[in-house]
Amino acid sequence: MNFSWMAWTLPTVLFFVTILVLLIGMGVWEFLSPGGNPRVGILRFETTRGDRLFVSLLGSAFIHLAWLGLIGPNVWWALALSVVYAVGVFKLV
């Protein structure tokens, strides 16, 4: 099968592989510690670790967009900020 129409590039492959690894990692985590670890954090509503991953990914996307819109094309700092944000979400939300 020819997938050249999908126009794959190394950065986008790495991006999707990262997402896939995260999802597999969450699956393994759930297998080792079932139940999703629900808790009420600073947002004052119950979240499971799947919710926290979703909030982390969605928030990271907007951090990157805000960085591109307000600062510039170098997104490495936005990536670092997103990692800090994701750690914060998993600790506090």
Partner 1 sequence: MEKTWNNKAWFMVLPVLVLVAFSAVIPLMTVVNYSVQDTFGNNEFFWAGTDWFIQVLHSSRFWDALQRNLLFSVIILSIEIPLGILIALNMPKKGFGVPVCLILMSLPLLIPWNVVGTIWQVFGRVDIGLLGYTLAALGIPYNYVNNVFDAWVTLIVMDVWHWTSLVVLLCYAGLVSIPDAYYQAAKIDGASRWSVFRYIQLPKMKRVLLIAFLLRFMDSFMIYTEPFVITGGGPGNSTTFLSIDLVKTAIGQFDLGPAAALSLIYFLIILLLSWIFYTVMTTSDAQN
Which residues are near partner 1 by CB under 8 A?
Answer: 4-9, 11-12, 15-16, 44-46, 54, 58, 61-62, 65, 68-69, 72-73, 75
Residue 62: helix, strand or coil by DSSP? helix
- Shortest distance, position 25 Cβ to partner 1, whole Å: 19
Tokens found for residue 21:
């690894």
Evaluate whether 63 touches 81 at the Cβ level (below 8 Å): yes
Q: Which is nearer to partner 1, 28 or 62 (CB)?
A: 62
- Chain length of the chain: 93
Q: Which is nearer to partner 1, 42 or 44 (CB)?
A: 44
- Shortest distance, position 29 Cβ to partner 1, whole Å: 18
Q: Which is nearer to partner 1, 31 or 91 (CB)?
A: 31
Query: Residues 28, 32, 37, CA angle at the centre, nearest 5°?
Result: 95
Q: Could you count the other beta carbons within 10 Å of the beta carbon of residue 89?
A: 23
